[in-house]
Amino acid sequence: MDVEAVKTDMIIVGAGPVGLFAVFEAGLLGLKCHLIDNLDRPGGQCTELYPEKPIYDIPARPKVTGQELVDDLMIQCSPFDPVFHLNQQAEELVKLADGNWRMTTSVGEVIVAPIVVVAAGAGSFVPKKPKYPNLEIYEDKSIDYSVHKMDKYKGKSLAIVGGGDSALDWVLSLQPLAKKITLIHRREGFRAAPDTEAQFKQLVADDKVDFIIGNVKALNGGEGQLSSIGIETIEGDLIDVTCDYMLPFMGLKISLGPIAKWGLNLNRKYITVNTETFSTDTEGIYAIGDVCTYPSKIKLILTGFYEAAVMCHGAFKYAFPDRKMATGYTTTNTAIQERLGV
Which residues in this chain contact ligand FAD in the complex, by CB under 6 A?
13-19, 36-39, 44-46, 49-50, 55, 57, 89-90, 119-125, 257-259, 289-290, 299-302, 304
Fill in the amino acid letter for 164.
Answer: G
Asked if 73 and 15 count as a contact pair (C-beta separation under 8 A), the reply is no
Alpha carbons 15 and 208: distance in angstroms, whole number = 36
The order of strands in the sheet holding 245-248 is 238-242, 225-233, 210-222, 180-185, 157-161, 245-248
Asked if 111 and 5 count as a contact pair (C-beta separation under 8 A), the reply is yes
Task: Output 163 or 289, the one with its CB closest to ligand FAD.
Answer: 289
Q: Which of 233, 226, 138 is nearest to 185 (CA)?
A: 233
Task: Output 54 or 99, the one with its CB closest to ligand FAD.
Answer: 54
Least distance CB 105 / ligand FAD (angstroms): 7
Residue count of the chain: 342
Task: Output 57 or 81, the one with its CB closest to ligand FAD.
Answer: 57
Own/partner contacts of 133-138, CB < 8 Å, gap of 24 or more, are 133/218, 133/219, 134/219, 135/219, 137/219, 137/224, 138/219, 138/221, 138/224, 138/225, 138/226, 138/246
Alpha carbons 70 and 332: distance in angstroms, whole number = 26
Please list the residues that pair with 85 across neighbouring strands: 36
Least distance CB 86 / ligand FAD (angstroms): 9
Task: Output 15 or 171, the one with its CB closest to ligand FAD.
Answer: 15
Least distance CB 85 / ligand FAD (angstroms): 8
Task: Output 119 or 229, the one with its CB closest to ligand FAD.
Answer: 119
Cβ atoms within 10 Å, residue 200: 22
CA distances (Å), 45 to each of 25, 42, 52, in order? 21, 10, 12
Cβ atoms within 10 Å, residue 147: 18
Alpha carbons 155 and 176: distance in angstroms, whole number = 10
Least distance CB 190 / ligand FAD (angstroms): 21
Strands 210-222 and 180-185: parallel
Least distance CB 194 / ligand FAD (angstroms): 20
Least distance CB 89 / ligand FAD (angstroms): 4
Task: Output 153 or 278, the one with its CB closest to ligand FAD.
Answer: 278
Least distance CB 297 / ligand FAD (angstroms): 11
Task: Output 35 or 167, the one with its CB closest to ligand FAD.
Answer: 35
Least distance CB 336 / ligand FAD (angstroms): 24
Task: Output 171 or 308, the one with its CB closest to ligand FAD.
Answer: 308
Which residue has the closest beta carbon to ligand FAD? 121
Helix axes 17-28, 301-319, angle to 10 degrees: 40
